Structure 1
Amino acid sequence: MTEEQKTQEERDETAAIVAEQNDRFRSTWGADFSVPGQIVFTRGVADLSPAAKAIIMQRVQQFSEFTEANDPYGDHTFGAFEFEIAGNSYKIFWKVDLYDTAYCMGSDNPADVNVTRRVLTVMHASEY
């Protein structure tokens, strides 16, 4: 069944399943192996201090401010926040992309963890 053929109810149900899986993956920082994937920092985030990266990790794991504006599909694939450390301010984005098991193409069935791999990318807003 193509995405166009799905009813709104089916799309909402799939989005809720994907959101739960994304939340589990993100909140455990990938340690819940029932939702496979990997976490990637962009170069700009990777170059930050260990203390800044620890704050980012905690904020991504605890993120819960999903709204219609940042989560229009209800699947919890994006978040943004700001923080300060050592006199520097940062605006951070994170996003979850859903791939096939080879990480080559988008997943044919994002709600099925057996055929889907997540990539959680953390970046400066300016790197988006």
Structure 2
Amino acid sequence: MTAQEERRATIARLNDQLRSTGEDGWTYLSRGVSKLPTAIREDVIRAIRLFCDFTPDNDPHGEHDGATLTVGEYRIAWKIDYYTRGQQQGVKVDHADPATTLRVMTVMFVEPL
């Protein structure tokens, strides 16, 4: 495995950890998703946590940083972005370093079916 492949695998593992557990980062629901009935919101979160259908089409860089899926009658997208952890000045965000990088997953509507 090349260094670049190892780096992408590390990023994918860290992104999967946030997506599947909600730990080591923040998760935001868009206004529309947050207004869904509780049972449907829970279905959306469960579907995202269980998502494993990554392909070169929906994950071209192999980092597991976003996808779209259908939950009931809703088309949902989720995306992970990266920020400097703790607002450290002068620290470059390194997506493969959990000590310096805060992962933020946003869950939103793509479109209703």
Q: TM-score range by the shorter chain?
A: 0.7 to 0.9
Q: Deviations over 1:35-87 (max 9, x none)?
A: x2100001110111101100001001000000111100000001211122xxx
Aligned residue number for residue 80 of structure 2: 96
Q: Deviations over 1:82-119 (max 9, x none)?
A: 122xxxx1000001111111299xx5311111000000
Q: Secondary structure at the match of 1:111?
A: coil
**Which letter does structure 1 place at the counterpart of 2:31?**
R
**Which letter does structure 2 place at the counterpart of 1:114?**
A
For the structure 1 residues 103 and 93, does the alpha-carbon distance in structure 2 shift closer, same or farther, using more than 3 Å as the test? farther
Does the aligned pair in 2 maintain the 1:103–1:117 contact within 8 Å? Answer: no
The counterpart of 1:116, out of the listed 68, 93, 101, is: 101
Name segments (4+ residues, structure 1) moved above 6 Å. Answer: none
Whole-angstrom distance in 2 between the partners of 1:118 and 1:99 = 7
The counterpart of 2:36, out of the listed 48, 53, 69, is: 48
Cα RMSD, aligned residues only: 2.1
Instruction: Extract unaligned runs of 5+ from structure 1.
Output: 1-8, 31-35
The counterpart of 1:18, out of the listed 11, 31, 40, is: 11
Does the aligned pair in 1 maintain the 2:47–2:71 contact within 8 Å? Answer: no
For the structure 1 residues 52 and 103, does the alpha-carbon distance in structure 2 shift closer, same or farther, using more than 3 Å as the test? farther
Does the aligned pair in 1 maintain the 2:21–2:49 contact within 8 Å? Answer: yes
Aligned residue number for residue 80 of structure 1: 68
Please, what TM-score do these two structures have when normalized by structure 2? 0.88
Q: Secondary structure at the match of 2:54?
A: coil
| Structure ranking higher on relative contact order (CA contacts 8 Å, 6+ apart) | 2
Does the aligned pair in 2 maintain the 1:94–1:121 contact within 8 Å? Answer: yes
Whole-angstrom distance in 1 between the partners of 2:17 and 2:106 = 15
